[in-house]
Structure 1
């Protein structure tokens, strides 16, 4: 289990893995977008810029030419040429490195500290990513429920649940590899009563037991996070429906207090119109 430290929990997701660590994550290649929500910081690589090597060289050449002109102007104004040249070289080098970095697909570096977990297996990665999505739903309900829950305690509990889930998923991908190795080892021509075959069967039973126990533990955490999201969302919907009912009750009370109209203008207008038409017809008949 990864226990969220003072700096919280850091979750990195790139194209090849999911990294969960109590320590800040760094990029091995490319750049990253970092978003913090409570004690959880999510790190996602920024898409590549798409600039080719030729485009980057062209831009660097144009920048160098512009800086040469600027250095000449500064030198004419009395500024030491070596200072302007050093600054120009440093700026061009920085731009070249940053553009090259931005042009490459981002890859998160593997954490070196203890307590970190890296998920490579597709099944475990997808399960954990779904849990992160549901956890965001849980966090979105907290502002509306701030009078009912302590956001700090809820944040710590949710981060701990994600950290524990990451540890379980890391174990499951190890067990998955072990199960595959044991399954490969069963392809043999040895007799069933061989000591080696019996030992292999025993280890397969133990691996299956670990597989089932970790699945049950992961499902409990996933179910609890999902239940928290549904409970918060349903309560918010109930509050909205209750507020609508209260507003409707007030509106109906005001309408009821006003009472029915004293004069029914519709029937009176119809009678007056009919009388005018009848008088017009009588005049027409007399002519």
Structure 2
């Protein structure tokens, strides 16, 4: 899975990992685009426990009858019963899983990033939306853009952005802690107060630098999307203009032919009439 990226988001977090993600509860839909696979939890089925138990009971009754029929046909009852039990167990587990809200399991490796803060999750979510826009432009620009190179660059940008957002999440918590610690009645010349102020300045510097780095990545992805979409629109407008030019040329040729034929027809008609009159006059 080298170079691949798995991104999953549930109601409490966004997980970005180079390794496949698992569901802790519920089910998920997986959508792969290039080297990025997005994992989206499926909405709960809404079936209550009573409904699930009733369905399982009905299924068990049907399977019990089927086991009896198979036994009468000479099939070993224990084999049929084992298969029926396995099926009931599988259905029960799947129904219970489908009824629960989907949550993604936390990865155990150091190469993954988990975003819990609402601000970082929202920013990364916007980047994913824009990244999809970028990918949608590649088929129309296949003669100008190498999809493999573009995919690697876009995936690397999303991975780097996840790392920055994870850092900002930690810096955010530290800023809040230092801000709470600054509410005191100690004199300003206290060594502890001065040390606290120094650390707050350092944290603010980290906060601004990570914001600038994140904005550069977001701006780059957005610029790629806008450039691709504008080029596609320009190509469509150019094709429309060429089609219109061809249609207008055909219409112009069609309109010119009657204009030349009508005077000729009038001259021929006048000549025929004149000849007829001369012939009548001679008689």
TM-score by length of 1: 0.89
1:216 is matched with 212
Aligned residues: 262
CA shift for structure 1 position 67: 0.4
1:236 is matched with 232
CA shift for structure 1 position 238: 0.2
Report if the CA contact (8 A) 1:30-1:103 is conserved: yes
1:12 is matched with 8
1:73 maps to which of 69, 72, 90: 69
Aligned CA distance change for structure 1 residues 7 and 102 (closer, same or farther; 3 Å): farther
1:261 is matched with 258
Report if the CA contact (8 A) 2:5-2:16 is conserved: yes
2:36 maps to which of 34, 40, 43: 40
Report if the CA contact (8 A) 1:49-1:102 is conserved: yes
2:125 maps to which of 125, 129, 144: 129
Report if the CA contact (8 A) 1:26-1:108 is conserved: yes
1:63 maps to which of 56, 59, 66: 59
Report if the CA contact (8 A) 2:6-2:16 is conserved: yes
TM alignment of 1:44-55, pairs within 5 A:
44-55=40-51
Unaligned 5+ residue runs, structure 2? 263-283
2:222 is matched with 226
CA shift for structure 1 position 257: 2.6
Report if the CA contact (8 A) 1:161-1:221 is conserved: yes
CA shift for structure 1 position 115: 0.9
Report if the CA contact (8 A) 2:29-2:41 is conserved: yes
Give SS of 2:100's match: coil
Note the alpha carbon deviations across 1:12-70, whole angstroms, 9 max, x for none: 01010000000000000011100100000000101000000000000010000000000
Report if the CA contact (8 A) 2:3-2:152 is conserved: no
Report if the CA contact (8 A) 2:22-2:105 is conserved: yes
Report if the CA contact (8 A) 1:23-1:113 is conserved: no
CA shift for structure 1 position 114: 2.4
Alpha-carbon distance in structure 1 between the residues aligned to 2:127 and 2:3: 21
Report if the CA contact (8 A) 1:7-1:39 is conserved: yes
1:103 is matched with 99
Report if the CA contact (8 A) 1:32-1:44 is conserved: yes
Note the alpha carbon deviations across 1:193-242, whole angstroms, 9 max, x for none: 00000000000000000000000000000000000000000000000000
Alpha-carbon distance in structure 1 between the residues aligned to 2:216 and 2:168: 15
1:205 is matched with 201
Kindly report structure 1 stretches of 4+ aligned residues shifted beyond 4 Å: none
Note the alpha carbon deviations across 1:116-154, whole angstroms, 9 max, x for none: 000000000000000000000000000000000100000
1:162 aligns to 2:158 (yes or no) = yes
TM-score by length of 2: 0.90
Give SS of 2:19's match: coil
Unaligned 5+ residue runs, structure 1? 265-287
